[in-house]
Amino acid sequence: MDNVINFYEFRRHRKIKKFLRFVVIIGVIAIFFVFAYLLIVTGMNHPTEFPSYIEPKP
């Protein structure tokens, strides 16, 4: 009977491992998308007080 209980515990731990691996992969993908979004937003919104061109002096 102990072998059956250990087998079920092993199966449960294997399912928990798969679930945790899935959660970690989803978390890494989410962090990557947030990082890419922040890079895109900060790259598109240039500060207005610093023009990208040099104004000619009169």
Domain ranges of the chain: 23-58
Q: What is the per-residue pLDDT for 14?
A: 79
50 half-sphere exposure, CB direction, 13 A CA radius? 3
pLDDT tens, N- to C-terminus, the chain (58 residues): 555 566 666 677 778 888 999 999 999 999 999 999 988 887 765 555 665 566 666 6
Q: What is the per-residue pLDDT for 40?
A: 84
Is the separation of the CB atoms in 52 and 46 below 8 Å?
A: yes
Which residues touch 46 (CB under 8 Å, ≥6 apart)?
52
Q: What is the pTM of this model?
A: 0.53
Return the SS3 of 19: helix
How far apart CA 51 and CA 48 sit, in angstroms, is: 6
